[in-house]
Amino acid sequence: MAPPPPELMDDVTASLAPDLLSEILLRLPLDDPEHLFRAALVCKSWLRTICDPAFLRRYSAFHGSPPLLGLLHRRQVLQGDPAPRLARTTAVPLFPDPAFRRALDCHHGRVLLHASDDGWYLIVWDPVTGEQHRLPESGIPWLIYSAAVFCAVSGCDHLDCHGGPFRVVFMATDDDDELVKASVYSSETGAWSTRVTLDDGYQSWEERYQARYQAICRGELDTPYVQPRRGALVGDEIYFTLRNGNAII
């Protein structure tokens, strides 16, 4: 069937009150965001309504969980680096994929990537707006590690975190002394916090060395390896796990 003539569409859209138009667009199905994308191309008034931050927040609250735009592969380090690509699950055009080596985490509309060309660095990427932030590494000489990114706005409902401040937590087993260390990056200060070290209960390096030597002789693993898995974000806390004893940090 041929599409209606433009003059008829102009009459229809002009006859809809803004509140009524908003209520209709609010009920567009969430299974594929291309519905909103196509509706925004109808006319300027529909585009203004759909791009209104208040409407987008209502749309998110009305439908609940946002749709899955794509899938970033993340395998354990022992299995090799993952393919540096985003497997799309929607027809909506996204901004070009950033170049990266490993996908580490995603929270509150942001993706955390580990990249390497002239040296290792981190990328915080918004796949909807295409905004990217390149972060230097935390300064921890990592042997094995995990990291997380999250919104830094207190009391935020995380329905529309685009462009706001964020934090990145990097936790690793130090490649030099094999201690678990962590640091936090703030987008507001543009710097990493002072590194903190997990207390392993030993009073000196000699005591720690003897304990680990005895564990090796018994065929046990004593090095506190940070498991390269996504951290669990619960409220204002992020939980990581260690390989030995499945301890939780």
Arithmetic mean of pLDDT, 155-168: 82
Whether residue 96 sits in one domain with residue 59: no
Whether residue 92 sits in one domain with residue 14: no
Query: In angstroms, rounded to a whole number, what is the distance separating the alpha carbons of residues 95 and 76?
Result: 27
pLDDT (0 to 100) of residue 93: 60
pLDDT (0 to 100) of residue 182: 92
Encode pLDDT of 215-246 as tens digits. Answer: 667 666 667 788 888 888 887 788 998 887 77
CA dihedral 128, 134, 139, 142 (to 10 degrees): 50
- Specify the 3-state DSSP secondary structure of 8: helix
Grade residue 152 by pLDDT with cuts at 50, 70 and 90: confident
> Domain range for residue 59?
6-63
pLDDT (0 to 100) of residue 115: 87
Is residue 1 one of the residues assigned to a domain? no
Whether residue 119 sits in one domain with residue 38: no
Whether residue 59 sits in one domain with residue 78: no
Answer yes or no: is pLDDT of 157 > 90. Answer: no
Looking at per-residue pLDDT, the higher value among 52 and 80 belongs to 52
Encode pLDDT of 1-60 as tens digits. Answer: 455 565 555 555 555 677 788 888 888 877 666 777 788 888 888 888 888 878 877 887
Query: In angstroms, rounded to a whole number, what is the distance separating the alpha carbons of residues 30 and 244?
Result: 42
Whether residue 10 sits in one domain with residue 90: no
Domain end (from 35, 63, 91) = 63
CB 160 within 8 A of CB 53: yes
pTM value is 0.69
Whether residue 176 sits in one domain with residue 99: yes
Encode pLDDT of 164-211 as tens digits. Answer: 899 999 999 888 877 889 999 999 999 999 998 887 666 666 666 676
Is residue 175 one of the residues assigned to a domain? yes
Other Cβ atoms closer than 10 A to 225: 17
**Tokens (6 digits) for 201:** 């209960």
Whether residue 43 sits in one domain with residue 75: no
**Tokens (6 digits) for 52:** 């209104």
pLDDT (0 to 100) of residue 20: 82
Please, which residues have CB within 8 angstroms of residue 19's CB and are 6 or more apart in sequence? none
How many structural domains is the chain composed of? 2
Is residue 165 one of the residues assigned to a domain? yes
pLDDT (0 to 100) of residue 247: 83
pLDDT (0 to 100) of residue 102: 82
Whether residue 170 sits in one domain with residue 155: yes
Whether residue 94 sits in one domain with residue 46: no
pLDDT (0 to 100) of residue 146: 92
Distance of CA 31 to the CA centre of its chain: 21
Domain end (from 63, 78, 110) = 63
Query: In angstroms, rounded to a whole number, what is the distance separating the alpha carbons of residues 216 and 209?
Result: 11
Looking at per-residue pLDDT, the higher value among 239 and 89 belongs to 239
33, 124, 146 from 79: Cα distances, Å: 34, 24, 15
Whether residue 226 sits in one domain with residue 137: yes
Is residue 160 one of the residues assigned to a domain? yes
Answer yes or no: is pLDDT of 74 > 60. Answer: no
User: Kindly report the CA angle at 136 between 170 and 118, in degrees rounded to 5?
Assistant: 120
pLDDT (0 to 100) of residue 81: 60
